[in-house]
Structure 1
Amino acid sequence: MSESKPSNFHIVMFPWFAFGHFTPFLHISNKLAEKGHTITFLLPAKAQKDLQHLNLHPNLITLHPLTIPHVDGLPSGAATASDIPLSLDHLLVIAMDRTRDQVELVIKQTKPKLVFYDFSYWLPEITKPLGIKTINYSIVSAASIALALVPDRNVQKDKPITEAELQVPPKGYPSTSVVMRRHEARALSFISFPFGEGVSFYERITTSMKECDVISIRTCHEIEGKFCDYLGSQYNKPLFLTGPVLPEPAKTPLEDRWAKWLGGFQPGSVVYCAFGSQNILEKEQFQELLLGFELTGLPFLIALRPPIGASTVEEAFPEGFEERTKGRVVVSRGWVQQQSILAHPSVGCFVSHCGFGSMWESLMSDCQIVLVPQLGDQILNTRLMAEELKVGVEVEREENGWFSKENLCKAIMSVMEKDSEVGNLVRKNHAKWKNSLVNPEFMKGYTDKFAKDIQELVNK
């Protein structure tokens, strides 16, 4: 008997209201649309226009706007995590939870076979009575979930988790290097904080993973296999890996202003720095960062939001900085074409916060990698890159948890100087991983297997 052809079906996507979540959910949507599946993508109405350009299959992927309900304390018009400081995320998640009626209506009207979600732990309560399968799709590293968000961590409700507890990995955790160090565990303490009405972050995520039919992670077995295997055993669930699921290289050329500026420097000489859309530095940190770049003597392009208390990046410049670095520095506050910048021949180093998306983009570039993590998962991603894969260098921190301009300069020069032993080691390891990741057959293998796995899931 010949094998039956896969049938196309309808899927609903419902990510957390942050661009760092919208984007990877839309990337996997594009891959599934290539297989012929139709998708309804739920998101705040305000975010719709900012994501339309990433929808490569508008005939198959419908961006469905949600109305954001009022929540006391949430600024008027706030709809995504980019609109608010991190301290107000707990109010935005209440707003997300209050879209439940809208989400349920869409699901009942569109009758999907499968729903992807991440933070909406209540979603299986809607889908199970309707016979709809669910995938909890995680866009952070398996390593960070394995350390912080497993049942063996046993975070108690209404009892803040201590830094000492966070420095002890849960039973069976498969690494001695991807861990939190002294002064860092506080970056994970948020997991016991309230994150919604009557639920902590830990409860929200672990419940989401316990109640789904399948756990899926945007990673590959070659890099995080032991963490994925551990998670599968902890949750006793099937685990589907999608691979990195990064978009194809941008077809639109690099903006003239960046192409012209970068074109004025030698190949591999420019340092590029970006810390993601939600990380906002203190003014002192911002200035120390700029002074560290200045110390290198290299040209640099920095894409950062203005620091706390400043309306523009320029007003927060250290005294005399602009005059001293004229012609070899650009500091931008807006969105930039990161993939295209990393691909430019003049860019030789990427200084990153090591968010999971930036981690993959750095691995798939030719740039040397310097890491300045700030939040919990970024710290663990950094350990994965610097300690396990040895493809980059982490900036050494001071006792206060930040870094000095001297340590930033030292880390950058350790990978940029041609005769550097450290630079040669990470360059060699990086090249090995990049060659695997950019192989079209590598990504296609993950996409094909994932499509086959979800087909079997909905057929059960």
Structure 2
Amino acid sequence: MKQTAHIAILPGAAISHLIPFVELARRLVLHHDLHVTFLIPSSNDHPPSDAAKSLLESLPKPNTRTIFLPPVSFDDLPTATASTAKIALTVSRSLPSIHHVLKLMLDSNTTTPPLVAFFADSFAIDALDVAKGLGISSYVFFSVNAISLSMFFHLPKIDEIAASYDFLKDLPDPVQLPGCPPFHGGDLFSGVQDRRGVIYKKFLQFSKRLVSGEGISGIVVNSFVDIESEAIKALQEEKTGKLTIYPVGPIVQTGGQHDEEWECLTWLDKQPRGSVLYVSFGSGGTLSYDQMTELAFGLETSGQRFICVVRKPNTQPPNATCLSPLEPLGFLPNGFLERTKGRGLVVPDWAPQVRVLGHGSTGGFLSHCGWSSTLESFVNGVPLIAWPLFAEQKMNAVLLVESLEVALRPKADEDGLIQREEIAKVVKALMDDSNEEGRMVRDRMKDLKDSAVKALGEDGSSTRTLFELASTLKTMVAN
């Protein structure tokens, strides 16, 4: 049997972190003949979802396999524990299982391809010590972009600047990261906003680990040179300790959505080319009841065609329970569905986003600016309306609007609510062919699509970088 390099992959506990890891593995297997084993952590209250299992099953065989780690328990935690904290704790409480599995994989090298490296999600950095103790080379896979990576590399310095503030949003001056646009403190990663919190301390620990480079051979970044050339160059020039930075993006989902028929796709087939605005806030994004109402009226007033993915709001009006048989559509304004019938389509909870963005009738994307969604818009050349909610999304919005100029961003009022008139104005600006601002954004996104295709081409920057990474892993077999 031909011997190949074997890597173990530990994604975070959220599917948004699993998807890019699966696609990275797919490329390493299909194009570089590597062998990949996924270690999947979970908890009793959040077992692996059917979507996650389907995604893992889509990986090419026989060079891939999946090991589901024993679920951990959170029975000892307060019921109000944040989901971000639980994601990190899922990994830290799985460390004994991770150690056991990795040791078995090392001991079985006589019958399987030799294990040469361990790839950990940025939320799974605690596991690096396990790999280090077993003598396994480790890499961090950063599923978002270079500007977010730069923020984490410089968080210890930011912490010093913010020493007299409890919240980064209160910083009086913009934060200037090398090679990045200036960020207001409130635009930085939501998990680091409260300097007093447990999550902040966890991220600061992660940042210091990155800066030291201890137990890390390299960092794989889901971005590409053409969109973040200055940020990537700055990271590489700073040497980032002894680490190598591997920008290999755009890595977007390619499997798992093509085996079903969807009403929204049939509806799109009947619409004019480039005429539909797709509205979605990602796998976990929700709006308040008031904001959902303003969004609905804004879409209606705009007069544009749309597909809108709707979830139950994160706040409810006093009488919302009477609408429960129609959830989540029951939270929309009375008569909205009837008034927009034919021009708009509302989809409850989830839509096959990859296929929607790739459809010829889709001409715009009102997005929460999650990085996976952002890359999907790049690959398909779909211009954006930036509506960030949490995590690194506000940083992404700054990149999209101010640096790349491929997105428009509606303005919120002093209470943080984006009013219907503002929404209608921005939607019309993006989708109306006669609007000069929207036309410029659409043209720049077309150029960006070409750049994404080029990066992944035979001699593209990301293709060369992934080849370099795979070659490095293969040389470890002989060593």
Q: Same-fold call, TM > 0.5?
A: yes
Q: Is this contact kept in 1: 2:223–2:249, CA < 8 A?
A: yes
Q: Is this contact kept in 1: 2:12–2:87, CA < 8 A?
A: no
CA distance in 1, matches of 2:187, 2:395: 10
Shift in alpha-carbon separation, 1:120–1:345, aligned structure 2, 3 A: closer
**Correspondence for 2:16 among 20, 24, 30:** 20
CA distance in 2, matches of 1:180, 1:458: 46
Tell me which amino acid in the other structure corresponds to 1:23.
Answer: I
Q: Secondary structure at 2:48's aligned position in 1?
A: helix
Say if 2:159 is the partner of 1:154: yes
Q: How does 1:266-305 map to 2 (within 5 A)?
A: 266-305=272-311
Q: Secondary structure at 1:272's aligned position in 2?
A: strand
Shift in alpha-carbon separation, 1:159–1:109, aligned structure 2, 3 A: farther
Tell me which amino acid in the other structure corresponds to 2:71.
Answer: I
CA-CA distance at 1:403 after TM superposition: 1.4
Q: Secondary structure at 2:82's aligned position in 1?
A: helix
Say if 2:57 is the partner of 1:60: no
TM-score for the superposition, normalised by structure 1: 0.87
Structure 1 consecutive aligned stretches of length 4 or more whose deviation exceeds 6 Å: 156-159, 457-460
Q: Identity percentage over the alignment?
A: 24
Q: Is this contact kept in 1: 2:189–2:392, CA < 8 A?
A: no
Q: Secondary structure at 2:272's aligned position in 1?
A: coil
Shift in alpha-carbon separation, 1:269–1:255, aligned structure 2, 3 A: same
In the alignment of these two chains, the number of paired residues is 443
| Equivalent position of 2:109 in the other structure | none
CA-CA distance at 1:376 after TM superposition: 4.6
Q: Secondary structure at 1:200's aligned position in 2?
A: helix
Residue deviations 1:157-197 (CA, integer Å, cap 9, x gap):
99844323385425x6333x35237x64694644635457x
Shift in alpha-carbon separation, 1:86–1:374, aligned structure 2, 3 A: farther
CA-CA distance at 1:134 after TM superposition: 0.5
**Correspondence for 2:342 among 327, 337, 344:** 327
Shift in alpha-carbon separation, 1:190–1:103, aligned structure 2, 3 A: farther
Shift in alpha-carbon separation, 1:74–1:114, aligned structure 2, 3 A: same
| Equivalent position of 1:358 in the other structure | 373
Q: Is this contact kept in 2: 1:141–1:377, CA < 8 A?
A: no
**What residue ranges of structure 1 are gaps of 5+ in the alignment?**
1-5, 77-84
Q: Is this contact kept in 1: 2:41–2:90, CA < 8 A?
A: no
CA-CA distance at 1:401 after TM superposition: 2.8
CA-based RMSD of the aligned residues comes to 3.0
CA distance in 2, matches of 1:121, 1:158: 28
CA-CA distance at 1:103 after TM superposition: 0.6
Q: How does 1:7-406 map to 2 (within 5 A)?
A: 8-34=4-30, 35-44=32-41, 46-47=47-48, 49-54=50-55, 55-72=58-75, 87-111=82-106, 112-117=115-120, 118-150=122-154, 151-154=156-159, 160-165=166-171, 167-169=173-175, 173-175=178-180, 177-180=181-184, 184=187, 187=190, 189-190=192-193, 192=195, 194-195=197-198, 199-207=201-209, 210-211=213-214, 212-232=216-236, 233=238, 235-236=240-241, 237-248=243-254, 252=258, 255-309=261-315, 312-406=327-421
Q: Is this contact kept in 2: 1:369–1:392, CA < 8 A?
A: yes
CA-CA distance at 1:107 after TM superposition: 0.8
TM-score for the superposition, normalised by structure 2: 0.83
Q: Is this contact kept in 1: 2:19–2:253, CA < 8 A?
A: no
CA-CA distance at 1:309 after TM superposition: 4.7
Shift in alpha-carbon separation, 1:134–1:409, aligned structure 2, 3 A: same
Q: Secondary structure at 1:39's aligned position in 2?
A: strand
Say if 2:428 is the partner of 1:422: no
Q: Is this contact kept in 1: 2:72–2:90, CA < 8 A?
A: yes
